[in-house]
Structure formats: C-alpha cells, structure tokens
Amino acid sequence: MNILGYMVVLRPTYLIDGDVTDIDLDTLARDGIKGIIFDLDSTIMAPRSGRITAEAATWLELARNRFQLAVVSNNKSDPYIKQVQEHLNMTVLGRAAKPSTKLFLQVLEMFQLRADQVAVVGDRPLTDVWGGQRAGMKTVLVLPLKTMNEPAWILFFRKLERCFIKS
C-alpha cells in the first residue's frame, strides 16, 4: 500500500474539531449507530488520572441514555483499568494492542450489534481510527480533552497527523 492508501485508511468517518463532548449524538443516532467504543486516555479522561471532567461525565451520561458504551484501551495497568471501569460504570478493556481488532470484535459481540452499527471514538489515527476501520466500524477522530495541557511536541505531531488525514 502506498502513502495515499494509508491516508485513506486513516481518514475517520467523522472528523471532529473538538473533544469528545463536541460529538453530535443526534448525528450518530441518525446514521444508525447503536454502540460506541471509546479510547480512554486523552479521549474521555486525562492519561493515568482515573478522573473524568464534569463536562465529559455529563456528555457520557447523555450518550449512555442512547447507546451501548464501552472502552477499549492500550493501557496495560490492570489496577488502573479496574479503577476506571468502576468509576465509569461500563466495560473497560485494557491491553488492546490497537490497531488490533481483537477487543473491538469482543465488544461488538458483547453489544450484539453489527460492525456498521458501532463507532470507535479516539484521539489517534494510527490506533483508534485504523483499528476501528479494520474491524469494519465507523470511526470518530477527536482532539484530546480541552482540559489537557500537552507538551508542544505532542501538539505538533497531532496537527501533523490531521494534515495527512484532511488531504
């Protein structure tokens, strides 16, 4: 596959110029989405914090009322994953090795939905978007939470990734 092929693969179904709370739930529902799989760190909570902002918690509660929800994370800390699962009160699976599809497909089976009825929401094209697309799911690329302060070099690479995706 050439570079243009990879750019198409990494292009999400929905490209949001904001964080997870800027996703329009009505649009997802109108497009036939019935389940959402979230990335964890930087997408719904700051990395390794175990805490969710009030804004993200409110948005997640609205989403919970309309969709089946789960989290698939590359995080390898089992105690942290357990803590987050209890805090969020939803299935949280760690050690995903995204873009591997294994845990995405496990959640799909748990939801008892077709792949085209599920959206994967994350902040990284090479893990979240590519993994979700490989599993046949719709994908939503968001920016990290507004409350996060990332180093300048990380922001540079995030902007660079988005340039390739928008091409």
SS3 string of 61-105? HHHHCCCEEEEECCCCCHHHHHHHHHHHCCEEECCCCCCCCHHHH
- Neighbour tally for 1: CB within 10 Å: 7
**Inter-residue contact 121 to 145 (CB < 8 Å):** no
Per-residue confidence (pLDDT) for residue 140, from 0 to 100: 98
Confidence of residue 155 (pLDDT cuts 50, 70, 90): low
Per-residue confidence (pLDDT) for residue 139, from 0 to 100: 98
What's the pLDDT tens digit per position in 22-62?
A: 999 999 999 999 999 999 999 999 888 888 989 999 999 99
- Going from N- to C-terminal start, the domains of the chain cover 9-166
Run of H or E including 163: helix 152-166
Quick one: 9-166 is in which CATH superfamily? HAD superfamily/HAD-like (3.40.50.1000)
Tokens of 100: 């591997």
Write down how long the chain is.
167
Confidence of residue 6 (pLDDT cuts 50, 70, 90): very low
Residue 154 has pLDDT above 70, yes or no: no
Confidence of residue 4 (pLDDT cuts 50, 70, 90): very low
More confident: 144 or 149: 144
What's the pLDDT tens digit per position in 79-124?
A: 999 999 999 999 999 999 999 999 999 999 999 999 999 999 999 9
Residue 68 has pLDDT above 60, yes or no: yes
Give which of 5, 6, 77 is closest to 47, Cα–Cα. Answer: 77
